[in-house]
């Protein structure tokens, strides 16, 4: 089974982004990080992919928006994150 594609939209100095990345790192998950600190096309892309998203991080697993840092941690606590990550 191939690993799912994990993407995370972040901003510089965002503690929630740091926490989400630390959780993914602790699981050995590779992810693509998109910095939207200065706005631009990636910020527009984030809003297109996750309608209503106004905060970061926004985390997507295989194109499915799972929310932010708290959502990621809740999935992990519920034992559902590893399954999404192909574990």
pLDDT digits (tens, 9 = 90+) for 17-66: 999 999 999 999 999 999 999 999 999 999 999 999 989 999 999 999 99
Report the topology of domain 6-84.
Glutaredoxin (3.40.30)
> How much is the pLDDT for 1?
57
Angle at 6 between CA 35 and CA 86, to 5 degrees: 165
Q: Kindly state the tokens that stand for 20.
A: 């989400």
Supply the pTM of this predicted model: 0.94
At 45 the three-state DSSP class reads helix
Hey, where are the domains in the chain?
6-84
Distance CA 81, CA 12 (A): 25
């Amino acid at each position: 089974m191939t690993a799912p594609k994990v993407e995370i939209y972040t901003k510089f100095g965002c503690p929630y982004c740091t926490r989400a990345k630390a959780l993914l790192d602790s699981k050995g998950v590779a992810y693509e990080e998109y910095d939207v600190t200065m706005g631009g096309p990636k910020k527009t892309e984030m809003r297109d992919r996750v309608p209503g998203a106004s905060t970061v991080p926004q985390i997507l697993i295989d194109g499915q928006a799972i929310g932010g840092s708290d959502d990621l941690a809740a999935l992990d606590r519920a034992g559902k994150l590893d399954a999404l990550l192909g574990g």
